[in-house]
């Protein structure tokens, strides 16, 4: 889609509510990283998990990014437009016998132990998920902030890539989406670090390139809880973006100058791009916001 680009980054919010401070923090980090390297910054709305989508959330997310000067390149991409590609890739994996249908329920897995559906003949007219077969293999990668991550997948269970409700699971969708958009750099929250080896595992099965990864800290409140839609973190205030942006630059440990405090959104972002130093967040997993 974008030829000859050495940096294509993205922000991929789910439309499950307005952007809260934690998600705006991640958006800003990924924007600054892309722009400081003259890269493209794409916006994808991760809208596959339809039962969790909230009406109006996408519009609010776009509006918030605009108010904070985080202008994306190209047009907004919606996961729901890529269903055909997910299904094609799924069929390829099935033909190569790398995935299998599964009719276990969460309850049966908890009480009866691991799934053996791969060894059984199932009635496929009944609801079923698809799981990827895990073969012993170590997945290692270098995260730009968290360092060397090495995970031995031997003791991991086969994970679901298409859910019983027919929805493509996050791990599989994100791998296909990043591939379809030609993403070279993924900057996202530390809470997704644990998913990365699963995603690299899938990239290797599908013969796709692995992007660079950088997992930035997540914002926690004074009680140690992650700010998230689940904890009903509020959407950010759109009335004073300068003030919040200044605070976010501080939370990103970029040491914004005092003079910047009253600067416009555009001036703050230009400063942020020119001075972007992600290493200030090295080995950092959480930042407290009180
Ligand atoms: N849509 C995911 C979320 O909002 C993020 C996906 C990703 O960055 O890989 O948590």
Segments making up each domain of the chain, as ranges:
8-82+170-288, 83-162
146-160, 163-177, 274-288: lowest mean pLDDT where? Answer: 146-160
> Please, which pLDDT band fits residue 16 given cuts at 50, 70 and 90?
very high
CA of 150 to the centre of ligand 1 (A): 21
> Please, which pLDDT band fits residue 154 given cuts at 50, 70 and 90?
very low
> Please, which pLDDT band fits residue 153 given cuts at 50, 70 and 90?
low
Does this chain's domain 8-82+170-288 share its CATH topology with 83-162? yes
4 pLDDT above the threshold of 70: yes
What per-residue confidence (pLDDT) applies to 108? 85
For residue 26, the ligand 1 atom closest to its alpha carbon is 8
To the nearest 10°, the Cα dihedral for 64, 180, 210, 73? Answer: -40
What per-residue confidence (pLDDT) applies to 230? 58
The rounded mean pLDDT for the chain is 93
Quick: pLDDT tens for 105-125. Answer: 888 888 887 888 988 888 999
What per-residue confidence (pLDDT) applies to 87? 97
The stretch 32-47 carries a mean pLDDT of 98
For residue 189, the ligand 1 atom closest to its alpha carbon is 8
Q: How far apart are CA 22 and CA 248, in angstroms?
A: 9
Pocket lining: 13 vs ligand 1, CB cutoff 6 Å: yes
Percent of the chain with pLDDT over 70: 97
Pocket lining: 211 vs ligand 1, CB cutoff 6 Å: no
Please give the model's pTM, rounded to 2 decimal places: 0.94
Pocket lining: 44 vs ligand 1, CB cutoff 6 Å: no
Pocket lining: 214 vs ligand 1, CB cutoff 6 Å: no
DSSP label at 15?
Answer: S
What per-residue confidence (pLDDT) applies to 136? 83
Pocket lining: 281 vs ligand 1, CB cutoff 6 Å: no
Pocket lining: 174 vs ligand 1, CB cutoff 6 Å: yes
Asked whether 250 and 268 are in contact (CB, 8 A), the reply is no
* Residue from 147, 134, 132, 74 nearest 101 by CA: 132
* Residue from 70, 58, 26 nearest 193 by CA: 26
Pocket test for ligand 1, best of 190, 192, 226 (most atoms within 8 A of CB): 192
Tokens of 168: 């493509």
For residue 23, the ligand 1 atom closest to its alpha carbon is 4
Output the CATH code of domain 83-162: 3.40.50.620
Q: Which residue has the tokens 């942006």?
A: 245
132 burial (CB, 10 Å; 0-12 / 13-18 / 19+) is buried
Pocket lining: 189 vs ligand 1, CB cutoff 6 Å: no
Pocket lining: 192 vs ligand 1, CB cutoff 6 Å: yes
Tokens of 220: 């926690």
229 pLDDT above the threshold of 60: no
Pocket test for ligand 1, best of 20, 180, 188 (most atoms within 8 A of CB): 188
Beta carbons within 10 angstroms of residue 275's beta carbon: 15
Beta strand 40-45 with 8-11 is: parallel
> What is the third-level CATH fold of 8-82+170-288?
Rossmann fold (3.40.50)
Pocket lining: 193 vs ligand 1, CB cutoff 6 Å: no
Pocket lining: 273 vs ligand 1, CB cutoff 6 Å: no
Spatial CB neighbours of 132, under 8 Å, sequence gap ≥ 6: 93, 98, 99, 158, 159, 161, 172, 201, 202, 205
For residue 46, the ligand 1 atom closest to its alpha carbon is 1
For residue 188, the ligand 1 atom closest to its alpha carbon is 8
Q: What's the alpha-carbon Rg for the chain, to the nearest Å?
A: 20
* Protein residue with its CA nearest to atom 9 in ligand 1: 174
Pocket lining: 30 vs ligand 1, CB cutoff 6 Å: no
* Residue from 210, 215, 226, 227 nearest 278 by CA: 215
């Amino acid at each position: 889609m974008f030829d000859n680009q050495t940096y294509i980054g993205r922000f991929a919010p789910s439309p499950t509510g307005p952007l809260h401070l934690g998600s705006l923090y991640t958006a800003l980090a990924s924007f600054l990283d892309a722009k400081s390297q003259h890269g493209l910054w794409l916006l994808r709305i991760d809208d596959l998990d339809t039962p969790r989508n909230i009406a109006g959330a996408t519009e609010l997310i776009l509006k918030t990014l605009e108010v904070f000067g985080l202008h994306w390149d190209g047009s907004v991409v919606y996961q729901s437009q890529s269903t055909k590609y997910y299904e094609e890739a799924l069929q390829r994996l099935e033909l190569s016998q790398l995935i299998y249908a599964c009719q276990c329920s969460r309850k049966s897995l908890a009480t009866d132990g691991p799934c053996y559906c791969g060894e059984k003949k199932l009635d496929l007219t009944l609801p079923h998920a698809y799981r990827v077969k895990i073969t012993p293999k170590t997945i290692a990668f270098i995260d730009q902030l968290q360092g060397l991550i090495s995970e031995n997948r031997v003791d991991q269970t086969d994970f679901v890539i298409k859910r019983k409700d027919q929805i493509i699971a996050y791990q599989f969708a994100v791998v296909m989406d990043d591939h379809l958009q030609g993403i070279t750099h993924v900057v996202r929250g530390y809470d997704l670090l644990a998913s990365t080896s699963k995603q690299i595992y899938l990239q290797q099965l599908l013969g796709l390139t692995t992007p660079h990864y950088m997992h930035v800290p997540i914002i926690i409140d004074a009680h140690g809880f992650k700010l998230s839609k689940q904890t009903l973190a509020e959407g950010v205030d759109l009335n004073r973006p300068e003030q919040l942006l200044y605070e976010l630059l501080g939370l990103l440990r970029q040491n914004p100058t005092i003079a910047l405090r009253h600067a416009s959104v555009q001036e703050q972002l230009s400063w942020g791009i020119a001075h972007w130093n992600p290493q200030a967040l090295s080995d950092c997993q959480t930042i407290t916001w009180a």
